[in-house]
């Protein structure tokens, strides 16, 4: 029996990004990216000399920022 198509597609999706890809995805500067990594907000590891940032941690960061913004807007209104 084969796996459902959605699970097969999930396996093809990348789970990590390079620093440059993370910068583009999050629309932040390199300095900000490394601040987020060093503060533990983003999960990362090195592979040889290359830094890899998990897509999951970037998604969680975006979700937190959206929640913070929604909360801020509700207080102002």
The token pair at 42 is: 């983003």
The pTM of this model reads 0.78
Is residue 39 predicted with pLDDT exceeding 70?
Answer: yes
Give which of 67, 39, 44 is closest to 57, Cα–Cα.
44
Give which of 27, 51, 25 is closest to 38, Cα–Cα.
51
Predicted confidence band of residue 7 (pLDDT cuts 50, 70, 90): low
How many angstroms separate the CA atoms of 75 and 69, rounded?
10
- Residue-range domains of the chain with CATH: 13-76 (1.10.10)
Q: Are 44 and 52 in contact (CB under 8 A)?
A: yes
Q: Are 55 and 16 in contact (CB under 8 A)?
A: yes
């Amino acid at each position: 029996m084969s796996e459902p198509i959605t699970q097969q597609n999930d396996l093809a999706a990348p789970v990590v990004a390079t620093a440059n890809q993370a910068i583009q995805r999050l629309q932040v500067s390199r300095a900000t990216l490394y601040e987020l990594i060093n503060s533990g907000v983003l999960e990362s590891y090195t592979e040889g000399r290359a830094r890899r940032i998990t897509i999951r941690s970037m998604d969680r960061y975006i979700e937190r920022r959206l929640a913070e913004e929604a909360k801020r807007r509700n207080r102002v209104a």
